[in-house]
Every structure is written in C-alpha cells, then in structure tokens.
Chains A and B, each alone.
Chain A
C-alpha cells in the first residue's frame, strides 16, 4: 500500500455515498440492505449500536458483582474445608507471603475486568461527547479491549483444570464455586458489549459530518 502521508485527506465511505460491508470490506451504494458478496446486513452507522453496547455492559457489570461475592474455589483437605472468593484468595496468598502471585491474581481478575468496563463506557460516551483523547488513541483502546476480552476466560479455565485435576479422594479436592458461573457470564457479556460497539463512530466524531448524521 502506498503511504502518501496525507492522512487528513482520507475520506470515509459514508462521505462518498457508499456503505461498506464490515465483514468482507466490499463497498455498496448507500442504502443497499445486504452485502451481495457475503450476505451481511449493511448499515453505514448502526443506530442501535450504542444501545446494545450499554445493554450488554450493564449485564456484564451485574454479573461481576456476584462473581466477587460468591466463592470461586472450594478447597477441601484432610483437616479443613475452605471457600475463597477472588479477592479473599488473593489476600490469603499475600498473608502467606506470595505477594507476586496475589498481585497477578488481583490484576487479572479485578483490575482488568474493571478496566474493561471503564474503557467500554468511556468509548461509548466519547462518541457522543467531546473528548480530549485523540481518535487514534481511542481506536487503540478499543482494539486492546477487544483483544483482552477473550483472555479473561483464563480464570474460568484455571478453575476447570484445578477442579478436574485436584480430586485426590480424602487427601485434597478442589471444586468450582458459584462465582465461576457469574464470572464467565460477565466475561461473555463484556465481549458482546465490545463487539456491539461500532468503532467507525470513533472516527466520525468532531468531523462535523459524522456528528450531524448520527442525529438524523
């Protein structure tokens, strides 16, 4: 691709009177309903995008609350039975001196999910309100959220592996707690929320043209 270095001259498909298929990148005249190549419904800017983003976002946040209140793991050993929540488990590890592992767990299971909620909310608000953050930065933020979203399932997989593996009759056993199901739902809803966001709106804002067309 020839980089002419005139990025301010880039014209959006919408300004050309064209609607593009987001799945296969083919261009169609504005108003075409369905992509003739791959069959995807065409929408120059999806007016319901933000509503779906917020609906999934709220579901994700709601599920994240019980994910932290219920125990994630149930550990039974010879002498004791122990149920720990995500944060409780990390605090316990820190008490035993494993600050590194505790920090990793807190980062992966608390900081990253909360960061995703914040990022999606910020992106959704930023296409409506004026913001100081550049379009390029917001696009990067969106890509990071989309990329990281799937990786939060790792907590669930670790619980699954531990529960299947540590089944040593009376000696020790680990079982999944109720939090795992809410945590998984929260991750899935957050992924759906990020997917529902139409990143093309990032580039419309403040261009005048895009701002007007959203209100039509």
Chain B
C-alpha cells in the first residue's frame, strides 16, 4: 500500500482504503494470506486475510455455541463449609442481584456474559456459512454482521471468567471450593472467543458481502 504523497485526480474510490481510527487514506493493495496491512500512522490493522479463516471461525463458533449452552446449564463452582454446600451455575451468578432495581443489574449481567456472546456466535454462523460455501450471501447478512460487530465490546464472557479467578482468591481461605464441569468449559470458551476475534478479518467479510459469488 502506498501513501498519498502524489495523488492523481479522478482516483477510483474502490482503490482507496481509509483507516477508521485516524482517517489516513491509502491506495489499496490486498495483502497476501497471512500478511497484514497496517495503518502507518496509528498502526491499526486494516486488512489481515488468512487462508481458511472462514472455516476456522465457523468451527470455533460451533464449539463456542456448545460451550455457552453447557456452561450456562451445568454448575461451575461448588462451595463447602462446615457441612453447608452450595453449587452455582453461571446463570445463578448472573441472577444474584435480586430485589428492587437490582433486577436490572441481573438482566444486564446475564446479557453481557451469556446472551450477547450467544447472539454474536449465531450471527457469525449465519453470515459466514454461505460465504464459506461460496453461496450467495444470506438474506439480511449485512445488518446481521453489523449487529454482531456492534455487540463486540459488550460481549464479556472472558471478563467474567477472569472474575471467577478473582472471586476464588477471595473465598479460598474461607471454605472448600470445587470446580464443576462448567468451570472448565468456560475456561476453554475464553480462549476460543479470543481466538475467534483474532481470526476474523472484518474487511474480508465486508468485501465478500459486497461482492457475493453468484454461481
């Protein structure tokens, strides 16, 4: 990619790529698979295509889907102190805020750690499966991908997982703690969510949605 020290007039807009963070304009040259195009000014990654990224993302998305459902259902921590035991699932934790205005916090927590990650996975599958199969894009694929991207900062499963570790440290010397199956599922989930976000090249998805294969 070149910078625009010498701009010829009448340049085709399709040849341009603009950094969303600092507005620097570049003449677009698609990087090869595994390479990345970075903004020279603010170093934001603009395009980073990967071979088979679509397939990898879909595989990971199915795993994430399975793990979210499992992690929400099974107990993830059990506590045992002087004969009193208590096993909680992630849904229990989300719904721990009860009474009066706290209910809103419960709903928000449930959304941030379960529903938004879940919806993002479903939207990703919906958008990417037709693209990977070289089919025409799914109906409403563009708003679906838009919604998925808008939800990105509000998907907080990985933060919740680190929160578990902090909570464990706080009660470890008060009681015996046991890890349920969901605890490990959530651990794997965190790694997968982070991997999925790093595989995804947004530019490539938008490009394919704009130029769908019609065959």
Q: How far is the CA of A85 from the CA of B16 in the complex (A)?
A: 53
* Alpha-carbon distance between A195 and B152 when the two chains are bound, in angstroms: 12
Q: What 0/1 readout, one digit per residue, does chain A (170-187) give for beta carbons within 8 Å of chain B?
A: 011000100011001000
Judge whether A79 is part of the interface by a CB distance below 8 angstroms: no
CB pair A27–B21 under 8 Å, yes or no, is no
B contact residues, range = 35 or more
Q: Contact: A18 with B16, CB < 8 Å?
A: yes
Given known contacts A39-B142, A153-B156, A164-B93, A139 and B21 CB-to-CB distance under 8 angstroms? yes
CB distance from B25 to the nearest CB of A (A): 4
Tell me the minimal C-beta distance from B162 to chain A in angstroms.
6
Most chain A beta-carbon neighbours within 10 Å: one of B81, B160, B203: B160
Most buried by A among B102, B154, B170: B170
State which of A1, A13, A172 has its C-beta within 8 Å of the C-beta of B174: A172
Any A CB within 8 A of the CB of B105: yes
Q: A13 and B93: CB pair below 8 A?
A: no
Task: Select one of A150, A153, A176, A181 contacting B96, CB under 8 A.
Answer: A176
Residue in B7, B24, B149, B156 whose CB lies within 8 Å of A23: B149
- Looking at the assembled complex, report how far the CB atom of B29 sits from the nearest CB atom of chain A, in whole angstroms: 8
Residues from chain B with a CB closer than 8 A to the CB of A4 are: 2-3, 40
A136 with B42: CB separation less than 8 A? yes
Of the residues A16, A162, A200, contact of B22 by C-beta under 8 Å: A200
A156 near B25 (CB under 8 angstroms)?
no
A160-B46 contact, Cβ under 8 Å, with A151-B159, A168-B81, A203-B24: no
Q: Restricting to B89-143, which residues have a CB under 8 Å from any CB of A?
A: 92-97, 101-102, 104-105, 108-109, 112-113, 142-143
Interface residues of B in 1-56 (CB under 8 A from A): 1-5, 7, 11, 13-14, 16-26, 29, 31, 35-38, 40-42, 46
Tell me the nearest residue of chain B to A93, going by C-beta: B170
Judging by beta carbons under 8 Å apart, are B18 and A161 in contact?
A: no
B167 proximal to A (CB < 8 A):
yes
Known: A1-B37, A10-B4, A181-B105. A163 touches B96 (CB 8 A): yes
Would you call A80 an interface residue if the criterion is a C-beta within 8 Å of the partner chain's C-beta atoms? no
Select the residue from A9, A10, A151, A160 with max chain B CB neighbours within 10 A. A160
Contact of B42 among A11, A139, A188 (CB under 8 A): A139
Choice from B25, B104, B164, B209 contacting A27 with Cβ under 8 Å: B25
Q: Which listed residue (B5, B23, B108) contacts A14, Cβ 8 A?
A: B23
Which positions 17-42 of chain A face chain B at CB distance < 8 Å?
A: 18, 20-29, 37-40
Interface membership of chain A positions 143-172, coded 1 if the CB is closer than 8 angstroms to chain B and 0 otherwise: 000100111011011111111111111011
Q: A158-B166, A158-B167 are in contact. Are A3 and B23 (CB under 8 A)?
A: no
Are A167 and B86 interface neighbours, CB within 8 A?
yes
B104, A181: Cβ atoms closer than 8 Å? yes
* B77 CB contacts on chain A under 8 angstroms: 161, 165
Question: Are A154 and B109 neighbours in the complex by a CB distance under 8 Å?
Answer: no
Given A25-B17, A154-B166, A161-B167, are A6 and B3 also a contact pair (CB < 8 Å)? yes
Q: Does A202 contact B (CB under 8 A)?
A: yes
Sample (25) of A-B pairs whose CB atoms are under 8 Å apart? A1-B1, A1-B31, A1-B46, A2-B1, A2-B29, A10-B4, A25-B18, A38-B146, A139-B42, A150-B153, A157-B93, A157-B113, A157-B160, A157-B164, A159-B96, A161-B77, A163-B97, A164-B96, A165-B86, A165-B93, A166-B175, A171-B81, A176-B97, A180-B97, A180-B105
List chain B positions with a Cβ less than 8 A from chain A.
1-5, 7, 11, 13-14, 16-26, 29, 31, 35-38, 40-42, 46, 77, 79, 81-82, 84, 86, 88, 92-97, 101-102, 104-105, 108-109, 112-113, 142-143, 145-146, 149, 153-154, 156, 159-160, 162-164, 166-167, 169-171, 174-175, 202-203, 206, 209-210
